[in-house]
Amino acid sequence: MEPLDHRTKTQQLADDLSWLEDHCRRQPELAEQAVHLRLAAGLARNVLGPALEDQPPQPLHVAVVGGAGTGKSTVVNFLAGAVVAEANPQAGYTRHPTAYLPADTAIPWPSTLGFLGPLRRLTQEQPGNLDEDVYQTRRLAPTTPPSPLADFVIWDCPDMTTWAAEHYVSRLLEVVSLADMIVYVASDERYNDAVPTEFFRLLIRAGKAVVVCLTKARESDAGTLVEHFRQEVLGRIPTTDATTIPPIPVVTLPHLSMSVRNDPAGEGAKYRVPLLNQLLVLSPSAAVARARTVRNALHYLEAAGDSLLHVARRDLAELETWRELVARGRTQFEERYQNTFLAVETFQRFDRTREQVLAMLELPGPGKAVSNALHLARTPWRFAREFVVKTLIRPELPHQSETQVCAESLQGWLDSLQAEALRRSGNHPIWMTIIRNFDATLKPQARARFEEAFRRLQMKETDELDQAARAVPEYLTQNPSVLNALRGVVLAADLVAVVLMIGLNWPPGWELLLLLPLGVSISHQIVESVVNRIVGVSRTRVKDHRLDLLQENLTAPLADWLTTQPTTEGSSMEKLKRVLTRVPLAIRSLQESVAAKAPHTPASENPV
Ligand SMILES: Nc1nc2c(ncn2[C@@H]2O[C@H](COP(=O)(O)OP(=O)(O)OP(=O)(O)O)[C@@H](O)[C@H]2O)c(=O)[nH]1
Ligand SMILES: [Mg+2]
C-alpha cells in the first residue's frame, strides 16, 4: 500500500474517533468515554500513522504524567539531568505539554501529517501555564558525559486531576498516546487519588510501558509507600489487564532539598540513576521499544474497539427510537387530519362550480326565453326538492376547520413526544437533553416551523382548489363547440321529456299542466346529476391530493426537523452510522498493514 493510502486511512480513523470524542463530550456523563476516544485517536495519528509511513524509531518519547503538583516537572529535570522544566508551587501550573528535545540536532522531529492532532507547535518559548491547545519544544544543552537519555524526547505534561472536563487533559492525552514510555508520578500524600489512578489504569490498558515514580515521601518511609502503592493501586488493576502485563517498576524520589532538586545530575544522581535505569531497561533499543509501542497501540485499538463504539451504538439506538416516535406522531397527525377533516370536508367551492356549469348550459340569446320558461316550469320541483332535503336529510354538523385540526394535531404530536421522552429520561442522557430543552426551545421552534409551513400549505391548497374548480367552466369557455353541443343535448332532453309527457297524456287534458313541469324537472335532474358527477371527479381528485400536499409541505418537513433535534449540536444519525461502520473496518485494515510490514508478534508477548 502507498504511504498516501496509509496516511488517509490513519487520518480518517483518527478523525472518526475525534468526532466520536466530540460527540461524547457534549454529554457530561460521557467524559470518561471521551478520554478513551481521545487516546485511541492519538494512537492512530501519532503511533500508527508514523509507523506505517516508515518513520525512524528515534527519538523515543518519554512522557511524565501524574496528578497536580505531584512533582512531574521536577521528575523531568531529573530525567534531563538539569533544571529545564519550571517546577511551581502552584498545583496544576503546567497547562500544555513541553517537549525537551535531544541536544543532538541530527535526531529528526516526527514529520507525519496530523502529528499531535489539534496541538499547535509554539514557535517561541512560553511559560508552562499558557492554557491553549499548543505544545512547545526546547532543545536540551549537550552534557559531558552525554545523558543516558540523550536521544529521547522528554515530555513535561499537564496534570490529570480532573477527568476530561478541562481542555488541558486532552493535551495530556495527545502526548500520552505518542509516548513509548511513561513515567507516572504520584506523591506520597495522594498516591491513590481516584482520577489519577483511573488514568494510570488507562495507561496500562493502552499497553504503555510505565515506570512509577513516587515522590515527596520521607526517605525512611519510601519502602512503605512503595508497598502501599503496590497494594492499593497495582493490586487493584482489573485482572483482565493485570494478566497481560509484566510487573511494573516502582522507584522513589523522596522529599528532596532545594539544592538536590537544583542539581539532578550531581547531588541528585543517587535518585536519578535508578529512574534512568528503569527506562533504559524498557528500551533495549529504539527499534524494539517503538515496535512495542506500535504493536500495543494496535492491540488496544482492536481490544477496545468495541467498547469505544459502545456509547455511540447506544446513542444511535436511542436516536432511532426518537426517530420512530417522531414518525409515529406524524402518522397520528395525518390520521387525525384524514378522519376529522378530510373525511367530512365537502369543498363547497365545487358547489359554485356546479352552479356555474349549469348556468352555462342554459340557452343564450333568443333561446334564453325558452330556458327561462323551463326554469319557471321547474319551480314546483325545486321547492319540493328543497323541502325533502330540509326535512329528510340531516343538516351537516359543523366540523373543525383545517387550521383547528392541524393545530390540535401538532399539539398532540408534541405532547406525545414530550411524554415519551419523559418516560425514558432515566434510560439515557439523550432523553434528559430533550426534556431539558423541550418547553424552552423545541416546542416554540416546532410551532414557528409549523406555522410557516402551514401558511405555505394553505397557499398551495388555495391555488390547487381554485385551479381544479375552474377547470370545467374554463374548458367549456375555451371550447364553445363542445358547450353548444352540450346545450343541444340538454335542450333535446327537455324536448324529449315534453314529447314523452304529451304522448303519455294524449289527447292532452288538464293533467298535462302537471306532467309537463314534471317531465322537464326529471330531465333537468338527470342533467344535474351528470354535471355533479363531472364536478365530483375534480372534487375527489382535490380531496385525494390534500393528504399528499399536507405530507409534502407540513408533516414530512416537520418530522425531518424533529428527528434531528437531539443531534443538532453537530452529530447526525447518518454520521454516527457511518463512523460506526468505518471505525472497525479501519482498525482491521491498519492491523493488516502493520502485520504486512513486520513479522507478526502475538499481543501477549509484551516486552514491557
Ligand atoms: N521540598 C520538596 N519540594 C518538592 C519536591 N518535589 C517537588 N517539589 C515542589 O513541589 C512543587 C510542585 O512540583 P512540580 O514539579 O512543579 O510539580 P508538577 O507535578 O509539575 O506540578 P503541576 O505542573 O503544577 O501539576 C514545586 O514547588 C516543587 O519545587 C521534593 O522532593 N521536595
Ligand atoms: Mg509541572
| Alpha helical stretches, state H, 234-338 | 239-242, 258-261, 269-282, 286-337
Same domain membership, residue 509 and residue 371: yes
Structural contact between residues 74 and 154, judged by C-beta atoms closer than 8 angstroms? no
CB of 72 shorter than 6 A to ligand 1: yes
Query: Rg of the Cα trace of the chain?
Result: 42
CB of 74 shorter than 6 A to ligand 1: yes
Structural contact between residues 57 and 335, judged by C-beta atoms closer than 8 angstroms? no
What is the pTM assigned to this prediction? Answer: 0.70
Same domain membership, residue 223 and residue 158: yes
- The confidence score (pLDDT) of residue 567 equals 65
Q: How far is residue 446's CA from residue 434's CA, in Å, rounded to a whole number?
A: 13
What is the residue-wise DSSP string for 330-380? HHHHHHHHIIIIITT---THHHHHHHHHHHHHS--GGGHHHHHHHHHHTHH
Residue 189, C-alpha cell as written in the block: 500524600
CA atoms in the 13 A half-sphere facing the CB of 599 = 1
DSSP bridge partners of 99? 137, 155
Kindly give the number of the ligand 1 atom that is closest to the alpha carbon of 215. 31
> Which chain residues have CB less than 5 Å from ligand 2, an ion?
72-73, 94
Phi-psi label, residue 572: left if phi above 0, alpha if psi -120 to 50, beta otherwise: beta
For the CA of 253, the nearest ligand? 1
Residue 94, C-alpha cell as written in the block: 503546567
Kindly give the number of the ligand 1 atom that is closest to the alpha carbon of 216. 31
Q: How far is residue 25's CA from residue 32's CA, in Å, rounded to a whole number?
A: 9
Among protein residues, the one with the nearest Cα to ligand 1's atom 7 is 71
Kindly give the number of the ligand 1 atom that is closest to the alpha carbon of 161. 25
For the CA of 160, the nearest ligand? 1
CB of 219 shorter than 6 A to ligand 1: no
Mutate to test the pocket of ligand 1, among 64, 75, 84, 88 (most ligand atoms within 8 A of CB): 88
Kindly give the number of the ligand 1 atom that is closest to the alpha carbon of 69. 21
Note whether residue 40 is domain-resident.
Answer: no
CB of 138 shorter than 6 A to ligand 1: no
Structural contact between residues 328 and 419, judged by C-beta atoms closer than 8 angstroms? no
Same domain membership, residue 381 and residue 256: no
CB of 216 shorter than 6 A to ligand 1: yes
Place of cell 343564450: 364
Map residue 274 onto helix, strand or coil: helix
Same domain membership, residue 544 and residue 479: yes
**Distance separating the N- and C-terminal Cα atoms of the chain:** 30
Among protein residues, the one with the nearest Cα to ligand 1's atom 16 is 87
The pairing of beta strand 98-101 with beta strand 152-156? antiparallel
Taking the centre of ligand 1 as the mean of its atom positions, its distance from the CA of residue 90, in whole angstroms, is: 9
Residue 10, C-alpha cell as written in the block: 490513519
Same domain membership, residue 348 and residue 274: no
Instruction: For the chain, give percent helix, strand, coil, nearest 5.
Output: 65, 5, 30
For the CA of 256, the nearest ligand? 1
Note whether residue 484 is domain-resident.
Answer: yes
Kindly give the number of the ligand 1 atom that is closest to the alpha carbon of 187. 6
Note whether residue 114 is domain-resident.
Answer: yes
For the CA of 260, the nearest ligand? 1
Same domain membership, residue 437 and residue 549: yes
Note whether residue 523 is domain-resident.
Answer: yes
Among protein residues, the one with the nearest Cα to ligand 1's atom 27 is 89
- CATH number assigned to the domain comprising residue 112: 3.40.50.300
CB of 190 shorter than 6 A to ligand 1: no
Residue 78, C-alpha cell as written in the block: 531529573
Taking the centre of ligand 2 as the mean of its atom positions, its distance from the CA of residue 468, in whole angstroms, is: 79
Structural contact between residues 516 and 501, judged by C-beta atoms closer than 8 angstroms? yes
Residues in the chain with pLDDT values less than 70:
1-4, 162-167, 239-245, 395-397, 567-572, 598-608
CB of 94 shorter than 6 A to ligand 1: yes
Among protein residues, the one with the nearest Cα to ligand 1's atom 15 is 71
Taking the centre of ligand 2 as the mean of its atom positions, its distance from the CA of residue 84, in whole angstroms, is: 11
Same domain membership, residue 539 and residue 466: yes
Q: How far is residue 459's CA from residue 454's CA, in Å, rounded to a whole number?
A: 9
**Count of domains for the chain:** 2
Q: How far is residue 209's CA from residue 356's CA, in Å, rounded to a whole number?
A: 92
* Nearest residue to 565 via CA among 322, 317, 328, 314: 322
Same domain membership, residue 394 and residue 475: yes
The pairing of beta strand 152-156 with beta strand 120-121? unpaired
Same domain membership, residue 366 and residue 260: no
SS (H, E, C) 220-232: HHHHHHHHHHHHH
Q: What is the H or E stretch that residue 516 is in?
A: helix 512-550
Kindly give the number of the ligand 1 atom that is closest to the alpha carbon of 91. 24
Note whether residue 598 is domain-resident.
Answer: no
Each residue's pLDDT tens digit, 137-191: 999 988 878 888 888 999 999 888 765 545 678 889 999 999 999 999 998 877 7
b (16+ CB within 10 A) / e for 428-455: bbbbbbbeebbeeebbeebeebbeebbe
Taking the centre of ligand 1 as the mean of its atom positions, its distance from the CA of residue 164, in whole angstroms, is: 23
Same domain membership, residue 209 and residue 114: yes
382: how many CB neighbours lie within 10 A of its CB?
A: 12
Note whether residue 589 is domain-resident.
Answer: no
Kindly give the number of the ligand 1 atom that is closest to the alpha carbon of 255. 31
Taking the centre of ligand 1 as the mean of its atom positions, its distance from the CA of residue 88, in whole angstroms, is: 6
- The confidence score (pLDDT) of residue 606 equals 39
Q: What is the H or E stretch that residue 185 is in?
A: strand 181-187
Note whether residue 139 is domain-resident.
Answer: yes
Nearest-5° angle of CA 301, CA 248, CA 41?
20
For the CA of 92, the nearest ligand? 1
Domain interval for residue 538: 324-583
Same domain membership, residue 334 and residue 237: no
Q: How far is residue 364's CA from residue 350's CA, in Å, rounded to a whole number?
A: 23
Q: How far is residue 126's CA from residue 338's CA, in Å, rounded to a whole number?
A: 69
CB of 252 shorter than 6 A to ligand 1: no
Mutate to test the pocket of ligand 1, among 64, 65, 72, 74 (most ligand atoms within 8 A of CB): 74
Taking the centre of ligand 1 as the mean of its atom positions, its distance from the CA of residue 535, in whole angstroms, is: 92
* Nearest residue to 577 via CA among 313, 335, 213, 232: 313
CB of 162 shorter than 6 A to ligand 1: no
Same domain membership, residue 256 and residue 382: no
Note whether residue 602 is domain-resident.
Answer: no
Taking the centre of ligand 1 as the mean of its atom positions, its distance from the CA of residue 115, in whole angstroms, is: 30
- The confidence score (pLDDT) of residue 3 equals 55
Taking the centre of ligand 2 as the mean of its atom positions, its distance from the CA of residue 86, in whole angstroms, is: 6
Structural contact between residues 45 and 11, judged by C-beta atoms closer than 8 angstroms? yes
Taking the centre of ligand 1 as the mean of its atom positions, its distance from the CA of residue 264, in whole angstroms, is: 14
Taking the centre of ligand 1 as the mean of its atom positions, its distance from the CA of residue 186, in whole angstroms, is: 11
Q: How far is residue 61's CA from residue 154's CA, in Å, rounded to a whole number?
A: 6
Taking the centre of ligand 1 as the mean of its atom positions, its distance from the CA of residue 64, in whole angstroms, is: 13
